[in-house]
Structure 1
Amino acid sequence: MDRKDFLLALDEMLELDPGTLTGDEALESLEAWDSLAVISFIALVDEKTGVVVEGEKLAKARTVADLLALAGAPVAA
């Protein structure tokens, strides 16, 4: 899954308009980033990439770019 597709999948998961996320956003600034979103993110990554995201690493994520890195998606555009 490339960066653009992953960002679009995150937009959909967080119920944002397509193209909203760029990767620079702080997770704390996203109203939809809550405990349900965390679980959904783990499931999304597993489904789309087969990568198992470790909870400890996810807890350290501060930006959407951090999520991209955890998912194995390219961080840079």
Structure 2
Amino acid sequence: MNRKDFLLALDEMLELDPGTLTGAEELDSIDAWDSLAVISFIALVDEKLGHVVEGEKLVRAKTVEDLIGLAGIAVAA
């Protein structure tokens, strides 16, 4: 999964219009980013990318870009 596909998957997960997220968004500014979204993010990464996001790292995430990094998506992808 590349960066664009991952952002589209996040859009869908958060029930946003496709192409809404760019990576620069602060998580606090996304109304749909709540405890259910956190669990959905962990499941998304596990299902689509096959690895587990550590909770203590996820708690420190402040931006969508941080989520991309936690998912292990390559910057150039």
Instruction: Please give the TM-score of this superposition, normalised by the length of structure 2.
Output: 0.96
Q: How does 1:1-77 map to 2 (within 5 A)?
A: 1-75=1-75
Number of aligned residue pairs: give it: 77
Q: CA RMSD in A?
A: 1.1
Structure 2: distance between partners of 1:18 and 1:29: 17
- Whether the aligned pair in 2 keeps the contact of 1:27 and 1:63 (CA below 8 Å) is yes
Tell me the CA shift for residue 15 of structure 1: 0.1
Instruction: Please give the TM-score of this superposition, normalised by the length of structure 1.
Output: 0.96
Runs of 4+ in 1 over 4 A off after TM superposition: none
| Unaligned ranges ≥5, structure 2 | none
Structure 2: distance between partners of 1:20 and 1:42: 20
Tell me the CA shift for residue 65 of structure 1: 0.3
Q: 1:76 to 1:34 in 2, by over 3 A?
A: farther
Tell me the CA shift for residue 12 of structure 1: 0.0
Tell me the CA shift for residue 73 of structure 1: 0.8
- Whether the aligned pair in 2 keeps the contact of 1:23 and 1:63 (CA below 8 Å) is yes
